[in-house]
Amino acid sequence: MVNTIKRLIFLPVLLTFACGIARGQDLQFGIKTGLSFATQGIADPDILSTNSVPTFNLYLYVEKPLRNDFYIQGALGIMGKGVTTYQNILTTTVQLTYIDIPVNLIYKFTLPNLGKLYVGGGPYLSVGISGNTQFQNTNNSSGENVTFGSDQDYKRLDAGADLTVGFEFNNRLTFNTNYALELNNIAPDNNTDNTSSIKNRVFSIGLGFHF
CATH number of the structural domain spanning residue 36: 2.40.160
- CA-CA distance, 74 to 41, in Å (whole number)? 26
pLDDT attached to residue 34: 96
Kindly provide the residue ranges of all beta strands, DSSP E only, lying in 47-156, ordered along the sequence: 49-51, 53-65, 70-87, 90-111, 115-136, 141-145
Number of domains in the chain: 1
Tell me the C-alpha to C-alpha distance, in Å, between residue 62 and each of 72, 95, 130, 179: 8, 28, 26, 19
Amino acid identity of residue 110, one-letter, is T
Mean pLDDT by 10 residues, the chain (211 residues): 46 50 69 97 91 96 93 96 93 96 96 95 96 91 92 93 96 96 91 86 96 85
pLDDT attached to residue 14: 52
Single out the residue of 209, 204, 205 nearest to residue 169, CA to CA. 209
- CA-CA distance, 126 to 158, in Å (whole number)? 5
Boundaries of domain holding 158: 2-210
- CA-CA distance, 22 to 26, in Å (whole number)? 10
Q: What pTM was estimated for this model as a whole?
A: 0.86
pLDDT attached to residue 134: 96
Structural element, H or E, at residue 163: strand 157-169
